[in-house]
Amino acid sequence: MPARLIDGNAIGAEMRAELGAEIAGLKKKAVTPGLAVVLVGDNPASEVYVRMKGKACDEAGLYHETVKLSKETPEGELMSLLERLNANPQIHGILVQLPLPKQIDTNRVLHRVDPRKDVDGFHPENVGKVAGGDPSGFRPATPYGVQQLLIRSDVETKGAHAVVVGRSSIVGRPMAALLLQDGKGGNATVTVCHSRTRNIAEHTRQADILIVAIGKPEFVSGDMVKPGAVVIDVGVNRVDDPSKKSGYRLVGDVQFDEAKQVASAITPVPGGVGPMTITMLLYNTVQAAKQWSSR
């Protein structure tokens, strides 16, 4: 029997509706959650992501500012902007769109964001809290979204063997930390694989929950999936497709058609993890505003 589809659009919409009530509550207290998105340079993919984030804020009734800087911007100028945003009471969340141009030290920039406004969860204070299982830390949006997909699709993580393929600081590492946490959507036994892992299929085939985030189109074939596993495909890759007007189509890191014959549940690409990432960014911004208003 083909796998059940885990629908990120539907779960994201459900979460945004819940968030609507929280936003209305904050507005009654004269607090409108505000997000600043900083874009340096003209990377076309980043521009699309930034536009999508702004649109999502508009739809949810959040205040937002997008600050665009040229690709030659010196690091000092970006730092001064972050100081202004850190001090701006209208802004509760700050997101610096990555990647940054070469002249800018990404870590130094991410460390300059006030941890209380770090809705991307990249400041070392939040990274440390998430790694240490402290729920007060902002959780990075993509793995947090994956965790919500699992919880809201009634996938039991407790005691399950979760295999995370990919160890980036944006997805793989925080994903492993969230699955290890003692609580809902956690308590899994976690294996993390990466480019130096030997015999990767031996690991993926043991996964009750397989989460793939490597950026390699359709890398995981059906025979790498354990029958009945839950498969979460984080990858978003463009592959040439002359039959499309755009000349390309989006695929994940998993061979969807094969894996869905083996798995019990699976996320599609697009329409799986992607919509959850933006939802969790809104969610973190609302949490930041709530914390700010109760200070």
Site residues (CB under 6 A) for ligand NAP, limited to 33-92? none
Residues 260, 266: Cα–Cα separation, whole Å: 6
Exactly one of 92, 129, 139, 167 binds ligand NAP (CB under 6 A); which one? 167
20 exposed, middle or buried (CB, 10 Å; 0-12, 13-18, 19+)?
middle
237 binds ligand NAP (CB under 6 A): yes
Contacts for 10 with CB less than 8 Å, ≥ 6 apart: none
Q: Does 170 bind ligand NAP (CB under 6 A)?
A: yes
Interface with ligand NAP in residues 203-222 (CB under 6 A)? 213-216
Asked if 191 touches ligand NAP (CB under 6 A), the answer is no
Total residues at interface with ligand NAP (CB under 6 A): 25
206 noted as active-site residue: no
> CA 192, CA 174: separation in Å to the nearest integer?
11
Among 168, 206, 221, 261, binds ligand NAP (CB under 6 A): 168
Nearest distance, CB of residue 167 and ligand NAP, angstroms? 4
Q: Can 53 be counted among the known catalytic residues?
A: yes
* Residue (236 or 263) nearer to ligand NAP, CB: 236
Nearest CA to 220 out of 165, 138, 269 is that of 165
Q: For residue 126, give every residue at least 6 positions away whose Cβ sits within 8 Å of its Cβ, in sequence order, or none.
A: 115, 118, 137, 138, 139
For residue 7, the minimal CB distance to ligand NAP (Å) is 14
Among 40, 225, 234, 266, binds ligand NAP (CB under 6 A): 234
For 248, residues 6+ apart whose C-beta sits below 8 A from its C-beta are 238, 239, 240, 241
Q: Is 59 exposed, middle or buried (0-12, 13-18, 19+ CB in 10 A)?
A: exposed
Side chain identity at residue 127, one-letter code? V
CB of 60 to ligand NAP, least distance (A): 17
| CB nearer ligand NAP, residue 81 or residue 155 | 155
The torsion angles phi and psi of 96, rounded to 5 degrees, stand at: -100, 115
Q: Rounded to an integer, what distance in angstroms lies between the CA atom of residue 124 and that of residue 278?
A: 22
Question: Considering only 68-76, 82-90, 155-163, 271-279, which stretch makes contact with ligand NAP by CB under 6 A?
Answer: 271-279
Separation of alpha carbons 259 and 143, rounded Å: 21
Q: Which parts of 135-154 interact with ligand NAP (CB under 6 A)?
A: 142
11 vs 234 by CB, closer to ligand NAP: 234
Per annotation, catalytic residue among 118, 120, 233, 253: 120
Nearest to 291 by CA among 177, 148, 136: 136
- Spatial distance between the Cα atoms of 179 and 156, rounded to a whole number of angstroms: 11
Of 165, 210, 259, 286, the one binding ligand NAP (CB under 6 A) is 165
Nearer to ligand NAP, 197 or 261 (CB): 197
Q: Helix 44-60 and helix 273-293: axis angle, to 10°?
A: 60
Nearer to ligand NAP, 28 or 196 (CB): 196
Does 190 bind ligand NAP (CB under 6 A)? Our answer is no
Known catalytic residues are 53, 97, 120
Residue ranges binding ligand NAP (CB under 6 A): 142, 165-168, 170-172, 193-197, 200, 213-216, 234-237, 273-274, 277
